[in-house]
């Protein structure tokens, strides 16, 4: 066992009893009652200490020839006894002398592991894989115990057979205990009410949670419990597909096979070893609510947090796997990360690496990536809309239908630009319910007539995504429904109708604006974008989009939204507009009713009509007039 404890603050009586001084008792009380969140952590801490002791012995064997009990197996043995209400943890590691017992277990905040690391540093043996650095882990046993006994024999052949014993309150004793093997045997005598920790299944669950990847065999009542290797620390070439799959099933508690996996290591800016998986299915699509983060944080194979907040962005909550970093500063209880700036750095490094991985996978196998995208696109869009640090990388991964793809076929922004017209400095998009709705509206016909591609967006989150993506590869993203788009003249196909005379267009535009009022329309004008439609409502407010209005209404149903005010564009070649111009003089009342109907229909097509009641009523009235 390797323990971790502090200042020389004990007093020794003549009968061998060592008493804790007042400040040590106070610190010990904090450790027992306040430091750790869950009592079960004591198992993790004692197993970690045992692992450190075995690791120290492994290094000593490289330089020391004469070691006591040298043929003992490097393993950690745990036994439970419900009748005696005890749990016993045994290692055949480095053990302790009488002086080391007093120094390491008799004082608080003195770390044997830290001292050993310093010694290794002086001899340039930095490969030691030691966990304990804070000097308090051993005392976590007193959260559940009213007495702890430590039986030990040092690795030194002339070492004593000893027992350290304490109730964690008044002090401790060190006495001779003949017959000890090398290493440490810790007997935790559970206090009343903590009997659950004497049950084999309870200890097994704790070991599987926190200590599955300790590098030495852990035997629980003779049965090994840590059978899965820490694959994230192995070379990729040394791991089989079957091992990866079994590891995924274990860490993700899954029954399927992963869709993707990313296994990587990095030395700078932080030491990172990670093994991440994308599941086969997105459970959020099944209506199970928001997924919880599924990437666990380890420090040298020991679990620190199975759902660490902030380790990865919220939108990567679908990932499963492990991130291990020995560089992260943990708080004293080793239950959370302490330096937020380093955590953010780890977050950025791993996230950027994963996005680069996805981009490569999309290039290598587009069909497989589209299958992934169908299930998990919502997460990528959430990231693009909320995570400014990774917007550029996420934009490369987004896929949409467009006016130049078949229904159901997706394209990327990069592919869009390969089809862009010479000199085109914008990427155009339109947001609508579905492809049929978009193409039935007036907004893409002008672009189609000019051979300009338009990206089709079908989800409300796309509005946020496009707002947060001001450009891609230097090309500005612009809504096709925006009012101030300047398009070149459409090519003359020879079958276009003659437009309404310019003077008549001016009179009609003035008439429409007067009838609708300045509160409803910013201006009315003839434009180039309409081909088959008679009229279109263009939104001059690029921030308050139709989708944003719908979202605000859903969030605050009792609040009034700002009034809709649009630019109306009419098509002077359309037969309906020509007849409206004539009716303006011959039957002004009918013309006014048609204008109101066209206005509401244009708002409906733009997604800006809040109530269709007047549109429906007026439609019936116009049909009645048409029938005489």
* Nearest-angstrom CA–CA distance, 336 and 328: 10
> How far separated are the first and last CA of the chain, in Å rounded?
100
Quote the pLDDT of residue 16.
64
Phi, psi of 132 (to 5 degrees): -70, 130
Lowest-confidence segment of 23-37, 89-103, 164-178 by average pLDDT: 23-37
Residue with tokens 């944080």: 297
The pLDDT of residue 114 is above 70: no
What is the average pLDDT value for the chain, to the nearest integer? 86
* Nearest-angstrom CA–CA distance, 144 and 134: 20
Q: Which two tokens stand for residue 467?
A: 């707002």
Quote the pLDDT of residue 465.
93
Say yes or no: 34 and 113 in one domain: yes
Phi, psi of 79 (to 5 degrees): -130, 145
Q: Is 155 helix (H, G, I), strand (E, B) or coil?
A: coil
The pLDDT of residue 13 is above 50: no
State mean pLDDT over 152-172: 92
**What does each C-alpha distance from 606 to 56, 91, 541, 625 come to in angstroms?**
71, 72, 13, 27
Quote the pLDDT of residue 107.
64
Say yes or no: 472 and 565 in one domain: no
Say yes or no: 93 and 161 in one domain: yes
Q: Is 234 helix (H, G, I), strand (E, B) or coil?
A: coil
- Go through the chain and tell me how many residues it has: 628
Quote the pLDDT of residue 202.
97
* Nearest-angstrom CA–CA distance, 119 and 7: 19
Residue with tokens 């952590």: 41
CATH code, domain with 449: 3.40.50.11260
State mean pLDDT over 237-245: 95
User: What percent of the chain is modeled with pLDDT above 70?
Assistant: 85
In 10 A of CB 170, how many CB atoms?
Answer: 11
Say yes or no: 202 and 268 in one domain: no
* Nearest-angstrom CA–CA distance, 263 and 283: 23
CATH code, domain with 601: 1.20.120.790
State mean pLDDT over 562-586: 89
Residue with tokens 């492990």: 322
The pLDDT of residue 598 is above 70: yes
Contact 444, 482 (CB under 8 A): no
**Res. 5 pLDDT band, cuts 50 70 90:** very low
Buried b / exposed e along 238-260 (16+ C-beta atoms within 10 A): ebeeeebbebbbebbebeeebbb
Quote the pLDDT of residue 11.
45
The pLDDT of residue 339 is above 60: no
The pLDDT of residue 261 is above 60: yes
Closest by CA to 106, choosing from 114, 115, 96, 116, is 96
State mean pLDDT over 81-94: 97
Contact 29, 193 (CB under 8 A): no
**Res. 544 pLDDT band, cuts 50 70 90:** low
Say yes or no: 462 and 514 in one domain: no
Say yes or no: 82 and 37 in one domain: yes
Within-domain flag for 544: yes
Within-domain flag for 11: yes
**Res. 452 pLDDT band, cuts 50 70 90:** very high
Quote the pLDDT of residue 543.
60
* Nearest-angstrom CA–CA distance, 260 and 130: 32
Closest by CA to 211, choosing from 227, 223, 187, 200, is 227
Phi, psi of 533 (to 5 degrees): -90, 150
* Nearest-angstrom CA–CA distance, 360 and 438: 32
Quote the pLDDT of residue 381.
96
Stretch (H or E) spanning 205: helix 200-210
Say yes or no: 159 and 33 in one domain: yes
DSSP 482: B
Within-domain flag for 377: no
Q: Name 411's bridge partners.
A: 400
The pLDDT of residue 469 is above 60: yes
Q: Is 56 helix (H, G, I), strand (E, B) or coil?
A: helix
* Nearest-angstrom CA–CA distance, 553 and 415: 36
CATH code, domain with 93: 3.30.565.10
**Res. 499 pLDDT band, cuts 50 70 90:** confident
Which of these three, 371, 387, 421, is where a domain ends?
A: 371
Domain residues for the domain of 453 are 400-479
Lowest-confidence segment of 107-116, 149-158, 163-172 by average pLDDT: 107-116
**Res. 23 pLDDT band, cuts 50 70 90:** low
Q: Name 23's bridge partners.
A: none
State mean pLDDT over 274-302: 89
Quote the pLDDT of residue 628.
72
In 10 A of CB 217, how many CB atoms?
Answer: 15
* Nearest-angstrom CA–CA distance, 84 and 106: 26
Residue with tokens 């993203």: 477
Q: Please state whether beta strands 454-457 and 426-431 pair in parallel, antiparallel, or not at all (unpaired).
A: parallel
Q: Which two tokens stand for residue 292?
A: 């919880």
Within-domain flag for 488: no
**What does each C-alpha distance from 4 to 53, 132, 133, 344 come to in angstroms?**
11, 7, 7, 29
DSSP 66: -
* Nearest-angstrom CA–CA distance, 394 and 373: 12
**pLDDT: which is higher, 190 or 483:** 190
Quote the pLDDT of residue 84.
96
Please spell the DSSP secondary structure of 299-314, one letter per residue.
Answer: ETTEEEESS-TTSS-G
Quote the pLDDT of residue 170.
81
**Res. 131 pLDDT band, cuts 50 70 90:** very low
Quote the pLDDT of residue 79.
98
* Nearest-angstrom CA–CA distance, 48 and 214: 8
CATH code, domain with 328: 3.30.230.80
Which of these three, 448, 479, 510, is where a domain ends?
A: 479
Contact 114, 133 (CB under 8 A): yes
State mean pLDDT over 524-548: 80
Within-domain flag for 490: no
Say yes or no: 212 and 103 in one domain: yes
Radius of gyration for the chain, computed over Cα atoms and rounded to the nearest angstrom: 36
The pLDDT of residue 179 is above 90: yes
Q: Name 612's bridge partners.
A: none
Which of these three, 199, 224, 249, is where a domain ends?
A: 224
Domain total in the chain: 4
Please spell the DSSP secondary structure of 526-538, one letter per residue.
Answer: E-SS-SS-SEEEE
Say yes or no: 323 and 429 in one domain: no
Contacts of 368 (CB under 8 A, 6+ apart): 361
**Res. 621 pLDDT band, cuts 50 70 90:** confident
Contact 310, 346 (CB under 8 A): no
Please spell the DSSP secondary structure of 281-296, one letter per residue.
Answer: S-GGGGT--SPPPEEE
Say yes or no: 88 and 212 in one domain: yes
pLDDT tens-place string over residues 342-400: 778 889 999 999 999 999 999 999 999 999 999 999 999 999 999 999 999 999 999 99
């Amino acid at each position: 066992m390797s323990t971790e404890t502090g200042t020389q603050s004990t007093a020794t009586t003549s009968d061998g009893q060592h008493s804790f001084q007042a400040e040590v008792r106070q610190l010990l009380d904090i450790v027992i009652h306040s430091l750790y969140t869950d009592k079960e952590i004591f198992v993790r801490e004692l197993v970690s200490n045992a692992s450190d002791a075995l690791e120290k012995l492994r290094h000593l064997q490289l330089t020391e020839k004469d070691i006591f009990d040298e043929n003992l197996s490097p393993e950690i043995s745990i036994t439970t006894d419900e009748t005696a209400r005890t749990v016993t943890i045994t290692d055949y590691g480095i053990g302790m002398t009488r002086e080391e017992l007093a120094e390491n277990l008799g004082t608080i905040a003195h770390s044997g592991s830290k001292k050993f690391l310093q010694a290794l540093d002086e001899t340039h043996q930095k490969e030691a894989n030691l966990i304990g650095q804070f000097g308090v882990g051993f005392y976590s046993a007193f959260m559940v115990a009213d007495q702890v006994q430590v039986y030990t024999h040092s690795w030194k052949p002339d070492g004593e057979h000893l027992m350290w014993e304490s109730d964690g309150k008044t002090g401790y004793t060190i006495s001779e205990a003949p017959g000890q093997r090398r290493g440490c045997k810790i007997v935790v005598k559970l206090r009343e009410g903590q009997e659950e920790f004497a049950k084999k299944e309870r200890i097994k669950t704790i070991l599987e949670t926190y200590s599955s990847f300790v590098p030495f065999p852990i035997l629980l009542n003779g049965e090994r419990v840590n059978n899965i290797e820490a694959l994230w620390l192995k070379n990729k070439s040394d791991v089989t597909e079957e091992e990866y799959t079994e590891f995924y099933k274990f860490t993700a508690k899954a029954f399927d096979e992963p869709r993707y996996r990313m296994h990587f290591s990095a030395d700078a800016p932080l030491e990172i070893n990670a093994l991440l998986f994308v599941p086969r299915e997105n459970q959020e699509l099944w209506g199970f609510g928001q997924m919880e983060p599924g990437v666990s944080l380890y420090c040298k194979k020991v679990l620190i947090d199975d759902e660490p907040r902030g380790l990865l962005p919220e939108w990567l909550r679908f990932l499963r796997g492990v991130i291990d970093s020995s560089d992260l500063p943990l708080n004293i209880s080793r239950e959370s990360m302490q330096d937020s700036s380093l955590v953010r750095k780890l977050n950025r490094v791993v996230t950027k690496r994963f996005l680069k991985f996805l981009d490569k996978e999309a290039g290598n196998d587009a069909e497989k990536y589209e299958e992934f995208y169908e299930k998990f696109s919502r997460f990528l869009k959430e990231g693009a809309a909320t995570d400014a640090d990774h917007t550029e990388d996420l934009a490369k991964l987004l896929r949409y239908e467009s006016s130049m793809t078949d229904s159901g076929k997706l394209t990327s922004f990069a592919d869009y630009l390969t089809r862009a017209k010479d000199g085109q400095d914008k990427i155009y998009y339109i947001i609508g319910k579905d492809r049929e709705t978009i193409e039935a509206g007036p907004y893409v016909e002008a672009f189609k007539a000019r051979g300009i591609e338009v990206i089709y967006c079908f989800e409300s989150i796309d509005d946020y995504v496009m707002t947060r993506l001001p450009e891609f590869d230097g090309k500005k993203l612009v809504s096709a429904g925006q009012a101030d788009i300047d398009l070149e003249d459409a090519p003359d196909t020879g079958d276009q109708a003659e437009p309404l005379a310019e003077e008549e267009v001016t009179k009609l535009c003035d008439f429409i604006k007067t009838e609708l009022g300045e509160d409803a329309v910013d201006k009315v004008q003839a434009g180039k974008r309409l081909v088959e439609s008679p009229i279109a409502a263009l939104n001059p407010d690029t921030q308050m989009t139709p989708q944003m209005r719908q979202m605000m209404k859903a969030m605050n149903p009792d609040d009034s939204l700002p009034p809709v005010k649009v630019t109306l564009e009419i098509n002077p070649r359309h037969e309906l507009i020509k007849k409206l111009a004539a009716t303006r003089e011959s039957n002004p009342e009918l013309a006014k009713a048609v204008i109101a109907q066209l206005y509401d229909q244009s708002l409906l097509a733009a997604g800006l009509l809040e109530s269709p009641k007047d549109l429906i009523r007026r439609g019936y009235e116009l049909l009645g007039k048409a029938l005489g």
